[in-house]
């Protein structure tokens, strides 16, 4: 007997079990949720990615991709397909809860479907959807949607923009990692999209200052994006090529291996809705320097900078100090699973 049937609407979903970099927190949550509540049923409709339209199974879950490929021309067709597929799913097994990710097209379609199926609809805010540029924001804030924020900072920003409080704050959880930690031979690690918002030019400025007193400082920057060539050029211009390794895009498994070798996560981003990389770093024993973004909070392993100069100084001082590399799970996955089960109405 199925306890609850949850339909997840997402812009994208992993194409297979090896697609590690597609919405990692969701990849953590769903298998654990299914294991904890085996009588629940989870169906997924992925609007834009993967780029095909054949149904497939992922860790025992039914995934229906619509193959939108982020094409503006195909948008309306993708939305109609989503409604049609959801109706088919509902005919087979009545949908009890619709859970959309990002306050965007998925939430818009989720709102339509929840009325048709007379079921609950909840939406998890993911990051840059809580910005004035998001045209869906004002269209959806007055709808009967349970709004879930990932952090206190994000909930406050949502309130400022919409004059509406979120209904829940549920951080993405992460499972405990291996404590078999090798030598910490990497001083500074950066992980993220190489875009202006992530501000990785400050990462290089910090390395430039540290290199003056620690010429052998070893740093790695993981990620790809439009700023990649510019950042490499800055590093070369400052004579830091020997100090910084640009890895490009690598798997989450490889990132975790680097985290277990690294001392400090240097994350100079100007904005984060949540910042799952923080939880990943802490659970792999790293220390953190960041601004007050996402769910940033003062902790003996987490240092929050007031401005760029403070950011550089904190990084210098932390690297020169005696560091604690014991893994720390700020958001245990079991707590996230239980919180979602509660609002889904699963007993």
Going along the chain from its start, the domains and CATH numbers come out as 5-173+332-344 (3.40.50.2000), 186-319 (3.40.50.2000)
Residue 1 binned pLDDT confidence (cut-offs 50, 70, 90): low
Provide the pLDDT confidence category of residue 312 given band limits of 50, 70 and 90: very high
Instruction: Inform me whether the pLDDT recorded for 250 exceeds 90.
Output: yes
Packing angle of the helix pair 308-319, 200-213 (nearest 10 deg): 50
Token pair of 86, please? 């959801």
Predicted pLDDT of residue 180: 65
149 confidence band (pLDDT: 50, 70, 90) = very high
CB 98 within 8 A of CB 83: no
Residue closest to 283 by CA, chosen among 175, 180, 183, 185 = 175
Please provide the DSSP assignment of 110-126 as one string: HHHHHHHHT-EEEEE--
The pLDDT of residue 297? 86
pLDDT at 345: 94
Question: Tens digit of pLDDT for each residue in 88-125?
Answer: 999 999 999 999 999 999 999 999 999 999 999 999 99
pLDDT at 76: 95
- CA-to-CA distance for 197 and 181, rounded, in angstroms? 32
Other beta carbons less than 10 A from residue 211's beta carbon: 18
Q: Which residue has the higher pLDDT, 295 or 121?
A: 121
Query: Residue 75 — pLDDT band, cuts 50, 70, 90?
Result: very high
Res. 181: pLDDT tops 70:
no
Q: Which two tokens stand for residue 287?
A: 């220390």
Helices assigned H by DSSP within 238-307: 252-259, 276-283
Residue 37 banded pLDDT, cuts 50, 70, 90: very high
- Predicted pLDDT of residue 64: 98
pLDDT for position 20: 86
Span 227-248, pLDDT tens digits = 999 999 999 999 999 999 999 9
Mean pLDDT, rounded, for 42-46: 98
Mean pLDDT of the chain: 94
Taking 70 as the threshold, does the pLDDT of residue 346 lie above it?
yes
Assigned token pair, 256: 């975790």
End-to-end CA distance of the chain: 13
Give the residue-averaged pLDDT of 41-49: 97
pLDDT in tens, 63-74: 999 999 999 999
Where does the pLDDT of residue 179 fall: very low under 50, low under 70, confident under 90, or very high at 90 and above? low
Strands 56-58 and 61-65: antiparallel
Is residue 21 within 8 A of residue 13, CB to CB? The reply is no
* 5's tokens: 């049937």
pLDDT at position 316 over 90:
yes
Q: Helices 75-92 and 105-117: crossing angle, nearest 10°?
A: 40
């Amino acid at each position: 007997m199925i306890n609850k049937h949850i339909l997840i609407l997402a812009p994208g979903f992993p194409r297979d079990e090896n697609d590690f970099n597609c919405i990692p927190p969701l990849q953590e949550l769903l298998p654990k949720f299914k294991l904890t509540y085996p009588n629940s049923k989870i169906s997924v409709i992925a609007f834009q990615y993967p780029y095909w339209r054949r149904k497939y199974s992922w860790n025992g879950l039914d995934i229906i991709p619509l193959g939108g490929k982020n094409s503006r021309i195909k948008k309306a067709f993708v939305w109609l397909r989503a409604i049609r597929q959801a109706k088919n799913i509902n005919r087979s097994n009545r949908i009890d809860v619709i859970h959309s990710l990002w306050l965007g097209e998925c939430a818009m379609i989720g709102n339509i479907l929840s009325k048709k199926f007379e079921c609950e609809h909840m939406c998890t805010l993911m990051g840059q959807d809580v910005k004035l540029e998001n045209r869906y924001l004002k269209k959806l804030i007055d709808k009967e949607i349970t709004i879930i924020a990932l952090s206190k900072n994000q909930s406050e920003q949502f309130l400022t923009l919409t004059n509406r409080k979120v209904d829940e704050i549920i951080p993405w959880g992460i499972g405990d990692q291996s404590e078999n930690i090798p030598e910490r031979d990497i001083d500074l690690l950066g992980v993220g999209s190489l875009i202006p918002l992530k501000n990785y030019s400050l990462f290089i400025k910090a390395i430039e200052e540290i290199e003056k007193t620690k010429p052998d400082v070893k740093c790695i920057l993981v990620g790809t994006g439009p700023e990649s060539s510019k950042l490499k050029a800055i590093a070369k211009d400052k004579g830091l090529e020997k100090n910084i390794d640009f890895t490009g895009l690598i798997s989450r498994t490889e990132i975790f291996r680097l985290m277990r070798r690294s001392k400090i996560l240097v994350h100079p981003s100007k904005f984060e809705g949540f910042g799952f990389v923080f939880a990943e770093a802490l659970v792999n024993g790293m220390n953190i320097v960041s601004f007050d973004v996402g769910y940033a909070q003062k902790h003996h392993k987490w240092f929050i900078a007031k401005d760029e100069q403070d950011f550089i100084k904190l990084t210098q001082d932390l690297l020169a100090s005696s560091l604690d590399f014991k893994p720390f799970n700020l958001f245990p996955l079991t707590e996230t699973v239980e919180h979602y089960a509660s609002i889904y109405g699963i007993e």
